[in-house]
């Protein structure tokens, strides 16, 4: 392979570029902080998804394909992002679940870093909502929701918060098994990394407590933080739009509960559970995935005015009991 390439408009690596056994085939995603490629693994004869850390506001790619800072004083910001990317790779490598992408490897090259995971054929909820909205009904949602809740429960069970559950981070495969992406943002609730890049704010999806890194709010983060994002996703799938922005709701709340809107084809208990997940104050939401599941499964006749069935057991047949994840290198 020659050492120089033509510049690609997205500053991405060229098609055909190789890292040992991986050969880049196409670009499948592009965000603020990186590019995701589909690549072919020549050794195992399968597809992989490779994520490259390349924050386009801080760096550009030279003809030798190495990243160059746009300005010298971006060095610290770039380095903090790279450290966070590497930490995300470690988190991904710790968790294994049929609904989380299988972690393959992490390496550094071109003055940046890469994460390879198995590739999954599927469509993101964001795309599905835009192109196949007619597919969406309660039965279809529940088919992917229960396995997804199981994966999120496993993450919470280890005291981690996913923190980046979004329509474009949930991939639905042809067999309807969901794949939850974005795990690189997950952090242990007890850890605090002040130099790490802020969470991605998503208007209508981000709960109140994620809008600030102030210590008071920081302490209010927990499983219910992911539960709000999940509630906003379900609301969007059912109503077609996300709920009003949480920080605006905190001043004046114009959220119309789904149980009042009564969209056709959805049970009241299901709609009520989503309304509870979307409580603006963290303490008023279901505190855990088992509590959310108990609400979803509660009888629709008996919707109680109190939002939380405290100390309720999860429906035993739906959630798995998980051991702690493998913490590599820790004894
Ligand atoms: N393992 C995978 N298999 C198939 N497609 C994938 C895979 N990983 C990523 N993608 C596709 O690439 C897109 C971007 O990937 P990803 O969500 O990991 O990166 P991002 O959106 O840039 O970062 P993040 O969500 O962590 O903020 C996804 O929405 C999905 O369409
Ligand atoms: Mg994403």
Q: Is there a single domain that holds both residue 147 and residue 286?
A: yes
Query: What pTM was estimated for this model as a whole?
Result: 0.89
Whether residue 212 is contained in a domain is answered as yes
Residues with CB under 5 A from ligand 2 (ion): 169
Number of domains in the chain: 2
Helix count and strand count (H, E) for the chain: 9, 13
Domain membership of residue 136 (yes or no) is: yes
Classify residue 327: in a domain, yes or no. Answer: no
pLDDT at 70: 96
Co-location of 155 and 283 in the same domain: yes
The answer on 136 and 104 residing in a single domain is: no
Using N-to-C axis directions, what is the helix angle for 289-297 and 268-277, rounded to 10°? 150
What mean pLDDT is predicted for residues 30-37? Answer: 92
Question: What local confidence, expressed as pLDDT, does residue 17 receive?
Answer: 97
Q: Based on the domain organization, do 217 and 279 belong to the same domain?
A: yes
pLDDT for 292 beyond 50: yes
Q: Give yes or no: residues 31 and 130 share one domain.
A: no
Specify the pLDDT at position 299.
Answer: 54
92 is in which domain, residue-wise? 17-118
Question: What's the mean pLDDT in 155-167?
Answer: 96
- Of 83, 118, 153, the position where a domain reaches its end is 118
Helix (H, G, I), strand (E, B) or coil at 156: helix
Band of residue 3 on the pLDDT scale cut at 50, 70, 90? very low
Please check whether residue 200 is in contact with residue 218, taking contact to mean a CB–CB distance below 8 angstroms.
no
Q: Which atom of ligand 1 is nearest to the CA of 169?
A: 17
Residues with C-beta less than 6 Å from any ligand 1 atom: 28-29, 31, 34, 36, 49, 51, 101, 117, 119-120, 124, 164, 168-169, 171, 181-182, 184-185, 200
Same structural domain, 175 and 213? yes
Atom of ligand 1 nearest to the CA of 183: 26
Mean pLDDT of 35-61: 97
- Could you say which of 58, 85, 118 is where a domain stops? 118
- 3-state SS, residue 52: strand
Residue 191: its pLDDT value, please?
Answer: 82
Whether pLDDT at 117 is above 60 = yes
CB 158 within 8 A of CB 166: no
Ligand nearest to the CA of 28: 1
Inform me whether the pLDDT recorded for 331 exceeds 50. no
């Amino acid at each position: 392979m020659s050492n120089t390439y033509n510049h690609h408009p997205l500053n991405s690596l060229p098609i055909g570029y190789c890292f040992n056994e991986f050969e880049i085939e196409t670009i499948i995603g592009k965000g603020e902080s990186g590019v995701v490629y589909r690549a072919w693994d020549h050794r195992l004869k399968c597809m992989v998804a490779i994520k490259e850390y390349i924050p386009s506001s801080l760096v550009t790619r030279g003809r030798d394909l190495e990243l160059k800072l746009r300005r010298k004083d971006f060095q610290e910001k770039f380095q903090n992002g790279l450290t966070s990317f590497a930490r995300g790779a470690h988190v991904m490598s710790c968790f294994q679940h049929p609904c989380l992408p299988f972690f393959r490897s992490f390496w550094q090259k071109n003055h940046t870093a890469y994460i390879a995971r198995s590739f999954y054929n599927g469509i993101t909820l964001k795309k599905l909502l835009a192109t196949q909205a007619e597919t969406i009904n309660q039965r279809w949602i529940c088919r992917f929701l229960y396995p997804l809740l199981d994966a999120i429960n496993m993450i919470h069970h280890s005291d981690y918060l996913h923190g980046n559950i979004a329509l474009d981070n949930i991939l639905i495969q042809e067999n309807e098994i969901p794949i939850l992406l974005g795990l690189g943002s997950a952090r242990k609730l007890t850890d605090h990394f002040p130099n790490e890049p802020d969470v991605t704010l998503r208007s209508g999806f981000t709960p109140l407590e994620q809008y600030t890194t102030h210590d008071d709010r920081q302490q209010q983060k927990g499983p219910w933080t992911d539960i709000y994002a999940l509630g906003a996703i379900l609301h969007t799938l059912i109503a077609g739009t996300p709920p009003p922005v949480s920080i605006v709701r905190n001043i004046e709340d114009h959220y119309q509960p789904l149980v009042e809107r009564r969209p056709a084809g959805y049970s009241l208990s299901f709609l009520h559970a989503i309304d509870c997940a979307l409580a603006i104050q963290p303490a008023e939401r279901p505190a855990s995935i088992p509590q959310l599941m108990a609400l979803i499964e509660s009888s629709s006749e008996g919707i109680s005015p109190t939002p939380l069935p405290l100390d309720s057991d999860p429906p035993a047949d739906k959630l798995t009991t998980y051991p702690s994840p493998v913490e590599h290198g820790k004894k």
